[in-house]
Structure 1
Amino acid sequence: MTLDIIAAEGESNPLLPATYDIVWSALCLIVVFVVVWKFVLPAFNKTLDERSERIQGGIEKAERIQAEADSALAEYQKQLADGRAEAARLRAEAQEEGAQIIAEMKQQATEEAERIAAQAKVQIEAERQAAMVSLRAEVGGLATDLASRIVGESLSDDGRAAGVVDRFIADLEASAPAQTSVASKEV
């Protein structure tokens, strides 16, 4: 009822704007909407698209860098494993070479010891022969002097003296093995 009273009096409703205000407001809204739709929204969408592309490019770049880092890490680990294998191989070769060198040195030492022993035997034999010759000469001289005293005749003849000396030494050598065998039987 109050609305009817107000409408009847010809006065306009204060809650409802006038028709020309509605038309001009609608017209301004449509113009602003068209301007925003035509100019602002494409620029805004373009900015958002560029930002989206940059973000996507950054993500792709990060993924590519991550993939490169992963491949570099795998390559590094492969090289490290190859290096360790190479070091192990070199260590094994060095041990083999060391063992071979040691074996060669032992063989050389054995050969050198045998050579020295053979040389010592030769030297001992030569010294023994020299001692025998010296001993024969001394024993021969002593035997000749002794025989000369016993016999009472001079044995200065070299041929006869050499024969006596050789016979005496032969008798000594023959009696020496017999005495050693008797001594070994007594033991």
Structure 2
Amino acid sequence: MSNLNIVAAAEETNPIIPNIWDMALVLLGFVILLFIVVKFVVPMFEKTFAERTEAIEGGIAKAEQAQAEATAALEEYKQQLTDARTEANRIREEAREEGAQILADLKAKAASESARITEQAHTAIAAERQAAVVSLRTEVGSLATTLAGRIVGESLEDDARSARVVDRFLADLEDHSAVSNTEGAAK
């Protein structure tokens, strides 16, 4: 029997066939470990993965929002730049028009002032000519009276008589002057 006991003992401790109690104990440990992993570890991993996913998606959303804002700001900047250039061109054109208007006004004022000065000069010349004619008539009359008195041998101090002599002399002088001017113009 001892052989039988050895064979029986050998059959019980067969390394190929596991022990039921060991298997139950390992299985119970695995189930407890599985329960702990499923109950505590997996939710923590899922929470961490969800937080990372949210962070990544939030970062992407923020990046897209920032990109959209940057694009909108760029478009607004371009529009403002275009508006500024348009306004500058408009101001430049208005300045040119105002400059041309000012130049035209100044030319008109200069022409008006020139005409006024010319008119004043003509008026002054005419007044001076008239004064010279009156002065010459008086002097010529006085000289003619004195000369006529010497030629005639009598005094022509009488105002009425001297006025007639002077008028006659000047009329003859003017007729002679008019004939000379006509002859000079005909040549």
TM-score (norm 1): 0.85
Structure 1 gaps of 5+ residues are 1-6
Could you tell me how far apart the structure 2 residues matched to 1:168 and 1:136 are? 10
Distance 1:183 1:37 in 2: 139
1:161 is aligned with what amino acid? S
1:141 aligned residue: 142
CA deviation map 1:26-57 (0-9, x unaligned): 33223212211221011111111011112111
Displaced runs of 4+ in structure 1, greater than 3 A? 11-14, 20-23, 183-186
Return the offset for 1:18: 3.7
Q: Shift in Å at residue 166 of structure 1?
A: 1.8
Q: Which residue of the partner structure matches residue 162 of structure 1?
A: 163
Alpha-carbon shift at residue 58 of structure 1 (Å): 1.6
**Residue 68 in structure 1 maps to residue 64 in structure 2:** no
Alpha carbons of 1:24 and 1:147: their partners in 2 closer, same or farther (altered >3 Å)? same
1:115 alignment partner AA:
R
Aligned equivalents of 1:17, 1:97: Cα separation in 2: 112
Gaps of 5+ in 2: 1-6
Distance in 1, matches of 2:52 and 2:162, equals 133
**TM-score normalized by structure 2?**
0.85
Write the distance in 2 (CA, Å) between the matches of 1:40 and 1:59: 28
Q: Secondary structure at the match of 1:154?
A: coil
Question: Structure 1 residue 85 and structure 2 residue 86: aligned?
Answer: yes
Mapped to 1, the partners of 2:182 and 2:23 lie a distance apart of 157
How far off its partner does 1:10 sit?
2.5
State how far apart, in whole Å, the 1-side matches of 2:118 and 2:186 are: 32
Pairwise CA distance, 1:13: 5.6
Q: 2:3 is matched with which residue?
A: none
Report the alpha carbon displacement of residue 138 of structure 1 after superposing the two structures with TM: 0.8
> SS of the counterpart of 1:47?
helix
Of 111-120 and 61-70, more deviation after overlay is shown by: 61-70
Q: Tell me how far apart the structure 2 counterparts of residues 17 and 161 of structure 1 sit (CA, whole Å).
A: 181
Residue aligned with 2:156, SS: coil
Deviation at 1:170, TM superposition (A): 1.9
Equivalent in the alignment of 1:48: 49
Counterpart Cα distance in 1 of 2:59 and 2:138 = 114
CA distance in 1, matches of 2:17, 2:167: 169
What SS does structure 1 have at the residue aligned with 2:37? helix
CA distance in 2, matches of 1:150, 1:23: 181
Identical-pair percentage: 53
Q: What's the RMSD between the two structures over aligned residues?
A: 2.2
State the one-letter code of the partner of 2:126. E
Between the aligned partners of 2:151 and 2:17, the Cα distance in structure 1 is 183
SS for the counterpart of 1:10 is helix
SS in 2 for 1:26: helix
Give the count of matched residue pairs. 179
